[in-house]
Homo-oligomer: A and B are copies of this chain.
Amino acid sequence: MATPSSPVNVVTGRHELLYGGDYNPDQWTPDVWREDVALMQQAGVNLVTVGVFSWASIEPEPGRFTWGWLDEVLDLLHEAGVGVDLATPSASAPPWLARLHPETSSVDAAGVRTSVGSRNHFCPSAPAYRDAVVAVARALAERYGDHPAVELWHVGNEFGQECFCDLCAGRFRAWLADRYGDLDGLNEAWGTTFWSQRYADWAEVVPPRVAPYVHNPAQLLDFRRFTSDQLLDLYRIQAAELRRAGGTPVTTNFMGFFPGVDQHSWAGDLDVVSDDHYGDPEHPTPARSALTHDLLRGVGRGRPWLLLEQATSAVSWRAHNVPKTPVQMLQDSLRAVAHGADGVCYFQWRASASGSEQFHSAMLPHAGPDTRLHRAVREQGAVLKRLGAVAGTRVPARVALVFDWPSLWASELPARPSEHLRATAQLEAYHRPFWEDGIPVDVVPPDADLDGYDLVVVPSLQLVGDAAAANVARVPERGGVLLVGPFSAVQDPTTRVRTGAFPAPWTGVLGVAGEEWRPLPPDGVAVRSDAWGEFTAHVWSESVAARDADVLAAYDGAGLAGEPAILRRTVGEGEAWYVSTVPPSDMLGAVVRACARAAGVVAPVLDLPRGVEAAVRGDVVFLLNADDVARDVTVPGGAEDLLGAPVAAGRVELAPGGVAAVRVSPSGR
């Protein structure tokens, strides 16, 4: 199942699973560098990200580059066998740029130009900023394109900034002209007849700056799209410089479901998809982490991805920052590997003594190497080494969850039926039963090739284009199972409501006709079902008629007595399900599992004990015991544990907090 074609395989082919963190040597003296490299070797570190915030160290004055320190650091790392993910420093320009070119600093929606002294204060449109970014990327590429330490290029950091300045207004107009042709097209797409917003001249069109009342939703959505494209362009002009220096793969670090950029539209420009992921140890959400990993793998179309940032223990940007236990630290990393990551790295190697993240945990804490935390870091390095064979393998998913950013953005626009119906919460709810059962799931956009999936789930897709809607509607026709959640396919890509019975493009395939979205009062509504008994649904209901579908559950209250809540239409070999409300977790689990059964999708582990998480990658079943008691688990066909525990007849014992990676023999499945 290895995939030698993926560019990152060049790196993992050398190191197997990647392990390391951000490394900021310019904050330390050369003697510390030597201690660092020695400790990295002892910990099994094989990849560090260097230079993300080093612009001022590289180019302390405009055009004057100081390479000496970086030359020395890269040489030291290379000698120690530690690969380098070398970054362009575009996320934080030195203060001299703002001094010489004030227009390079971003402007907020109220017209306030942001100040230096933090980070991310750039306007992506400012020519002087763009020129400076290209120049420093070119200089890096020219100097280090052939350096043997450099195994990966890294562009910027956590893209997602917004700027509302006049330069951005100009580029926004050009982007809109390109999208809609002329002002008539724009006026039509934005529905500017509403509230007398019709534009008579391009000069009138601006970003959604501070206004007396709510903004045009189409303008808001297009500004999101524009911002994502604008940042992608910023990525591209840097990546182009790096690629000129040779074939070293290029990446940037995304942030899971963060709404700043449309990762699907970016993916084609990345050689490997990377993510930053920071769960809150005070409120662990392993299911959400698994979903996010499935998303990132989907962004990369199933290829291995890299977890470039996470925390070894506490972060410092929450109000109250609870630390991780060593068990959590290891399981968080192995969960990422199990869901397709070929590397697990941290922010950062050595804890900073100064600056805004001085209280953020690191691989090497302020108190030094003789600490519980650093010992756990070393142990993790050893574990990852034993899992080397996993590198490059794929996750064998037969279930697809549909998600995309434009629809997420639409679901966050103001003035909608309910802020309590949240797209990502719906996604989590429909993903959770699969996570509980250890069933692999891909998270894909609605225009993905869905033919390989037996079950396609659309938890929430408020906005969808015609072609993508048709793509989804084909699933039952070719014998698959389609499961659609409420308030989906409501708007076209301009945010225009699709009038008529809803969900307009899918009334046929689902056999339903909706007429009113009905957010529920706090008590919710009773729902009765022959299959699943009676339950109370909250937040949302809909007035929907069954035109050509079986009613599996019906409302009993909230002005909807007797009307259908959950429906199923049989389409030859296929099935199309519609859930018009938000059932409680166990009930939704029953619905989702019924769909899985109908699609012939089965779990990889028998009677998975409560508290144990399972995930399949390649021919390995990962098992993570989050509980503080030992657990026996049986993996059909389980042959050996890569981490060394005995396996008999597929059965392995997990210690409290223990983990296993059970390889399944081909005959045994």
* A residues in contact (CB < 8 Å) with B: 24, 26-27, 53-57, 60-61, 89, 92-96, 98-99, 106, 108, 110-121, 161, 190-201, 203-206, 208-219, 282, 313-314, 316-317, 319-323, 325, 351-360, 365-368, 371-373, 414-420, 494-497, 499-502, 513-522, 539, 543, 559
The chain B residue with its CB closest to the CB of A115 is: B209
Does more than half of chain A's interface fall in helix, strand or loop, or is it mixed?
loop
Q: Which of A514, A519, A520 has the most CB of B within 10 A?
A: A519
Name the one of B89, B354, B499 contacting A495, with C-beta atoms under 8 angstroms.
B354
What is the distance, in angstroms, from A219's C-beta to the closest C-beta of chain B? 5
Instruction: Contact check, A213 vs B96: say whether CB atoms are below 8 A apart.
Output: no
Cα A365 to Cα B517 with chains together (Å): 11
A353 touches B499 (CB 8 A): yes
Contact status of A319 and B196, CB under 8 A, knowing A190-B354, A217-B356: no
Bound together, the chains give a CA A206 to CA B95 distance in angstroms of 10
A218-B354, A366-B499, A373-B516 are known; give 6 further A-B pairs, CB within 8 A.
Answer: A95-B205, A99-B203, A282-B521, A314-B417, A314-B517, A316-B415
Contact, CB under 8 Å: A211 / B99: no
Given the known interface contacts A366-B499, A516-B373, the answer about A204 and B116 at a Cβ–Cβ threshold of 8 Å is yes
Q: Which of A89, A193, A420 has the most CB of B within 10 A?
A: A193
Q: Are B325 and A417 in contact (CB under 8 A)?
A: no
User: Closest residue to A194 on the B side, CB-wise?
Assistant: B355
* Complex Cα gap A212–B319 (Å): 18
Residues in B with CB closer than 8 Å to A218 are 354
- Neighbour of A516 across the interface among B194, B371, B502, CB < 8 A: B371
In the complex, which of the residues B317, B321, B372, B514 contacts A214, with contact meaning CB atoms closer than 8 Å? B317
Q: How far is the CB of A32 from chain B (nearest CB, A)?
A: 10
Contacting pair B215 A356 (CB below 8 A): yes
Q: Contact check, A27 vs B198: say whether CB atoms are below 8 A apart.
A: no
Which residue of B93, B108, B213 contacts A210 across the interface (Cβ within 8 Å)? B108
Q: How far is the CA of A559 from the CA of B314 in the complex (A)?
A: 13
Asked if A323 contacts B54 (CB within 8 A), the reply is no
In the bound complex, do residue B196 and residue A559 qualify as a contact, i.e. CB atoms below 8 Å apart? no
Number of copies: 3
Who on chain B is nearest to A283 by CB?
Answer: B521
What are the 6 closest A-B residue pairs judged by CB atoms, nearest first? A191-B354, A194-B355, A118-B211, A56-B198, A95-B204, A367-B515
Closest to A90 in B: B196
B359 in contact with A89 (CB, 8 Å) = no
Given A193-B56, A417-B314: A118 and B214 interface contact (C-beta under 8 Å):
yes
A55 nearest in chain B by CB position = B196
CB of B356 within 8 A of CB of A194, answer: yes
Cβ–Cβ contact A114 & B211, under 8 A: yes
> In angstroms, how far is the closest chain B Cβ from the Cβ of A652?
26
- A414–B95 Cα distance when bound, in Å, is 21
Chain B residues near A55 (CB, 8 Å)? Answer: 196
Docked pose: A513 CA to B92 CA in angstroms: 37
The minimal Cβ–Cβ distance linking A60 to chain B, given in whole angstroms, is 6
Contacts A/B (CB < 8 Å), 17 sampled: A61-B200, A94-B198, A106-B212, A110-B110, A115-B206, A117-B197, A118-B216, A121-B212, A193-B354, A215-B356, A316-B416, A323-B516, A323-B518, A356-B414, A366-B500, A366-B502, A367-B499
List B contacts of A368 (CB < 8 A). 499-501
Q: How far is the CB of A13 from chain B (nearest CB, A)?
A: 33
| CA–CA, A322 and B96, complex, Å | 54
**Most central of A60, A92, A197 by chain B CB within 10 Å:** A197
A323 cross-chain contacts in B, Cβ below 8 A: 516, 518-519, 559
In the bound complex, do residue A319 and residue B418 qualify as a contact, i.e. CB atoms below 8 Å apart?
A: yes
With contacts A356-B414, A416-B316 taken as known, whether A118 is within 8 angstroms of B195 at the C-beta atoms is yes
Q: Which residue of B lies closest to A358 (CB)?
A: B497
Find out whether the CB atom of A419 lies under 8 angstroms from the CB atom of B319: yes
Q: How far is the CB of A16 from chain B (nearest CB, A)?
A: 30
Q: Are B516 and A367 in contact (CB under 8 A)?
A: yes
**Chain B positions within 8 Å of A351 at CB level:** 497
